[in-house]
Every structure is written in C-alpha cells, then in structure tokens.
Structure 1
Amino acid sequence: MTEPASTPTPPSSEPATPRDVIDTREGYLAAVERIAAGTGPLAIDAERASGFKYSQRAYLIQLYRRGAGTFLFDPPPIGSFAELSELIADEEWVLHAASQDLACLREVGLEPTRIFDTELAARLLGLPRVGLGTVVEELLGIHLAKEHSAADWSTRPLPATWLEYAALDVELLIDVRDVMVDLLEQQQKTEIAAQEFQATLDKEAKPPAAEPWRRLSGVHSLRGAQNLSAARELWLARDALAQELDVSPGRLVPDLSLTAAARALPASKRDLAAMRDFTGRASRSELDRWWNAIEVGRASTEPPQATRNGDTLPPPRSWSDRNPEADVRLKAARQALVEVGEERNIPLENLLTPELLRRAAWTPPAPVTTETIGEALQKAGARPWQIELTAQPIAQAFVEAHQKLRDDAESAP
C-alpha cells in the first residue's frame, strides 16, 4: 500500500540496556525536566490489568518524545502527575486506540487537549488491519511482537521483557503518526481525521448501566421471576466481593456458574456445593455468600422483568416481520453507504455508526429529504463529515425504498 519508511531502525530482540521503571517522586520530577527539553508530539500509552483486577486503573504509563527519550512511569507510588500534566497539556498526544486509555490517564490527572489516534487513522486510511503491530509493520516495515498485551500489569516487579514490550509501544508511534499525516493528506482525509480525533476527546463516559447484572452471560435464557432475582443477587454479591478484593469478577466465579446456579435454584447450601458447574476459585470459599444471594433472590418481592425497558431497537434480523418498511429502508441505505465507503476507502462502521443508520431507518423524519436526514443524524451525534457524505445517499435510498414498496403493493393481486 505504501513504501515502508526508511528512517526507523528495527528494534533488536534484546535491549542494549534494561528498561527502568520510574517509581519515585524524585525520578518522576527529573523525567519531567527531560521531557520539557524534548520537541514535538508525545507518544503515550497505558497498561492496565483488565481481566485480573476489578479496577481499570493504569499500572504503567509509557511516554516517548523526540529529544527526551522513553519513560515508564509506575503511577501508584508517584501519586500526582500535576507537573507533567501542566507541561504537556497543550501538546499533541499520539495514542493508539485512544478511547481505551483516556479514562485511566484522566484518572491520574493527565488530560489531553489534542490527540492523534493511530488506530482510528488506520481505519480512516482503509488499512486492512488496525492493531498496532500490523500497522507498524505495514507503514514502517518493522515487526513488533505483541505477546504481552494481555498480561497482568499489576505484577511487581515487572519482567524485563514486558518493559521492553511496553517501551516499543510508544517508541514507534511518532514515526507511524508522521507517515499517517502524509497519507491522510494524500487521501484528502485530514479534516475527517481531525473531526474524529476531537469526537474521541469530547465523548462523554457512559453512565453506569441501570441494571448491570443483565450483562451476565446466559442470563437471557432465564425466564422465571425467582431465577432472574437469584441471578441479580448473585451478580451483586460477586461484584461487591470483586470490588473489595480488587479482583476481576470472573476470576472469583465465572458468569456461567452464576447463571447455572440461578437456573437450578438449589434447595440447600449443600446442593449448591454439589453442583459441578458451579466453579471458580471463590465458589466454595465464599459459599455462604452465594447461598445467601440465592435465598435473597428467591424471597424477593420485586423480581426483575424478563426483558429490559428502554429504547433499544430490535435486532435487524427481526425487522422484516416487525417493521417491513424499516427493513427495506435499512437494507437499501446500507447498500448505498457500502458504495460510498468503497469509493472513499472508509470502512462502513466509520463512515456512519451502524446504530445511527438503524435509528434513522426505523423512524425516519418526515418528509425524507437530505436536509431532514442530515438534521436527524446531527442530533444523534454524527460528525459533519459523516453527514456530508451520507445524508444524501440515505435520503435517496429511503425514497426509493418507499417507492418500491408502493409499486409492489399496487402490483400485488
């Protein structure tokens, strides 16, 4: 697709010197001085312990700047990052999949005002794969191993191979960003990327789910009021213990084990302990906790409803039966946007969020025009560039779908 850049040097398999973790205030303040002496954008990444810990805090923050070097910060012992935040707040931050790291960076007081997201840029450029390793190989011709991406970064001390992996995550980002800036300009997508980067920064955190327990795997198969109540109480009991211990809930008792217990509703604590499919490292050590949850669920006088209330649309596969006109509109508009995406070399999901298209198709504005579709998309959160490229094709597809339905009705016997 593009010639690999010639300036970056492939990293050796063994680092020349061990990577040092900055875990003191003195070391941190010295690093801030060195970062101040550097130039240009800053590459930033964060490592969490997802799947191991309850919290989503950063257990390692990596930063690279030309003229300054690479810095690996251990957030808990450092405490406040106020000095670093003040220094770099107005600089451009380069991240890969920024939406995954912004929350934990903000948690320690690191708040960017300008970003360049290399993962998002890769999507807009139409790269076939957008993981950091494949993007680096595609654009720079450097193979970047990613074997520690799912590690428990709360581990202390961190192994040397993990630290090398973490450092390489940022040391090549600036080079990737520079290549992408040129490619975005060539494809006339600079403004599109800028709008997408700003939208990532402006996106508000989702409010807590009203009934988070409904995310429990297999809960959709439960129908009885007592079964649903037991599932709810088991989830709440596990969540409270996980938060107290700062352990990922699934490491205490897997989802499917909770669902199995809620489905079976064992008659006694002994019966619960005898269940083969009630597993997990805390399934027996916290047996009293789980049994109490089942009893509370069984005795509940306010069982949850079998289905959630809200404005969630039905799955598109059911539209042909539930709303045939919307089904025809959706299929016609999706095909029209596929053609726009292919012409512009932009994936369909980036051209317009699928949920926005489904909502427009389910309840279109009246009358259907480019202007009314554009207004509906704007209210739903579409960016200006998305509206510019999609409002007219969607409106035309809706009008043609309506006409087809009328023609079919008139020709029917």
Structure 2
Amino acid sequence: MYTALTKDALMKMSAKDLKARLKELNSFAENEEGDVLDQILEEADIINGILQDAKARQRLATMASEAGASDDDTNKGEGSNGALDQISERGKKIKNGNTVKFAAKLVSKKIKNALSTAQTVLPSHEASDLKPTFNDVSSLIDRVKTIPLPGGETYQRGYVESYGDGADTSEEGADYNPTEPKFGYVTIKKEKITAYTEEPEEMIKLPDADYDGVVESSVTMAIRRYISRQILIGDGTTSKLKGIFYNPAQENEQVIDPKTDITTITEIASDTLDEIIYSYGGEEEVEDIAVLILNKKDLKAFAKLRDKQGRKVYTIVNHGNTGTIDGVPYIINSACKAISDPATAAGSYEMAYGPLENYELAIFSDIDARKSTDYKFKQGQVAYRADIFVGGSVASKNGFIRVKKAGA
C-alpha cells in the first residue's frame, strides 16, 4: 500500500535509495488511480529533481577542480610575467598593424558593472512565497444552502405558496369554510462547470515560490467565481443554474413574482435601505435574518452619502466581502449592476434582499481537479483541469425581493 514520503525525508536518502524508491513508486502506480496516482507522480518528480541537483553539483565541483589546475599551469612557465607579458605582446601587435582583441568589459563600463554585479559580487535571492492579488470570489457561494446529492441528476424542491385565507364564521350545521394551502415546486437540474489552463513546464522548476500550486488552484477558484455569479444571474436555460434574477416565461414556474420587484429607486438615497427592508416579506412582520446583495459601487454610494450637516447617513462596518449597513448584513457580488453607475440601464437588476437559505445549491459531485504532463508533452506544457456538477434555484416563494433601476 502506498504511503507518501515528505520532501525532507527524501532529501535525507542516498542516491541508491532514491532510485530504489522510484522503482517502488512505479509498482504502486500500476494499481492506483485518481488522487493517489497524482501523489505518486508528484513524489517521483521530487525524487527526479533531487537526483538532477546532485548531478549538477557534482559537475560543478569537477569544473571548479579543473579550473584550479588550469590556473596553476598558466602561472607556471619560464620567463613569463603573466598579464604584463600579454599586455606587452598586444602592444607590439598594435605597433606592427596587427589586429588584437580586448574583453567586452573593457569597452563599456555598463558591461563591466553588469558582469561583476550579476555574476561575481551580489547573490540573487528568490522570495519563498507569492503575493496574492485581490479576492475575486464572492462569499455568496459559501452562504447559500447547499444540498449534497452525489451521483444525482435532478432535484425537486417543494415549497408553500400560501397557507390559505378563508376562515370565517359558520351557522350551526352549515359547511366549514374551506382554507386550502397552495403548494409549488421547482426542479433543479445539474450543470457541468469546467475550467482548464496550461503552463510551461519551466514554471514547475522555478525556485522557492509555489508558482505551480497557484496555477493549479486557479482552476478551482475560477469554478467558484462562476457559480457565485450564476446564483444571481443564471439564465435557467437547459441544465443551467436558475439565478435570483431569473424570470421564467411560464408564470407557474416563477418562484419569485416579478410584480414584487422594487422599480422606484433611481439612486442611493437616505431612504433606500428602508424602502428595501420594509418592502420584503409578508404583511404581518418584518424579516430580521435577511441579507442585502449588492455591487461594491453601490456600497461606496451608501458610505459617501451625507446629510445637510455633513454627517454620514449610514453606518457601515466592512469585513472584506461582507459587513453591515446600519446593522443590516450585506454581501458584495460583482454580478449585480450598480444603481450608482450612470452606465447602468434602467430596468436592470441591481440588488437582492432576503435570507440566503432561500437559495438552494444542489451539489451533484465534488470538484474533480487533475494535473497532467502527458497532453502536449512535445511542447513541454503542463495541463490543469477541474469540473463539478451543480444546480441551483430559489427554493422559497418570493424568497428574495429584487431591485431594478428605475428610469430617470
């Protein structure tokens, strides 16, 4: 049974033991697959790198030894004063009209400085890590309700449309008043989401910093970013996520009634948040567990809003991708258009407000990420791919209220 060895453990082994370990890995590989096979290949790459480094050090030591012997031979010789004799000889050739050659570093000070700095004086160092860039994955994907359904094809979610409202008084002996609840359901189909990238094999060999690891993880990050955006803008076509902003053509398939959309907001104002909060939910209560999903530009507009005395209208607490506006939780997602952006067309969706549990993300498989050095082997390209099967939809009647930009 295969048990992985760490790089530190491999570094302590002799060349003979490392070669034996390679043979052992080859036998393991015959009976393994998937992630275990990837680990075996990764360990084999490490061993190969250690052996190559050892050969390179041995070669360098041999060259240094030969260079020392050559210097000793040059300085020997009867009647020779080394460099002074060479200068004198070149002087004679110049006087006689013959051609002589000088080292390039004597022609230009820049060449001299470049050679001495890069090759003989200052050592070159590499950072041991990579500075990350800005986050481009909204935490929305981690906050909605996830339903693990490995190996499934579809998922049907039933919900209550109304509890019925027909209760009234009845005369003695008369029929009871009917109050029938109304139910609906939504079908969630799986969508295959994929990501692929390539890198030259030289990236793997770069020292210290894990360039290869960053490239490999980027395919998974790309999938997460796509899903996070589709939770809002998924168009619901065949095998596509049904986003919060999605409106089916058939009225009986509309989990969110478009008539409930807020269509009166033209800009971020002092009453914008109140308009959204009190427009959501039933007639008997104000929801207190809902979250506002918006564009960062609109969050900025909330933050910059001032009253007549120059004081901030809203108190905003930022925690990266999330935070609160006057105590109301928010999540930033760039799939939302911005009301505050003049380029945003009237009638487009900008915000959504509601409990995030009202959106269900069905996970039909794990993220399968793989690395291959076989494809484009001739070009020395390393390929990475990742895929997952998911589906999603709003799963509660009018589970979110949506904000459209009104016309000017």
Which of the five TM-score ranges fits, normalised by the shorter chain?
under 0.3
Structure in which a larger fraction of residues adopt strand = 2
TM-score of the superposed pair, with normalisation by structure 2: 0.21
The one of the two structures with greater contact order (alpha-carbon pairs below 8 A, sep at least 6) is: 2
Q: TM-score, normalised by structure 1?
A: 0.20
Q: Is the radius of gyration larger for structure 1 or structure 2?
A: 2
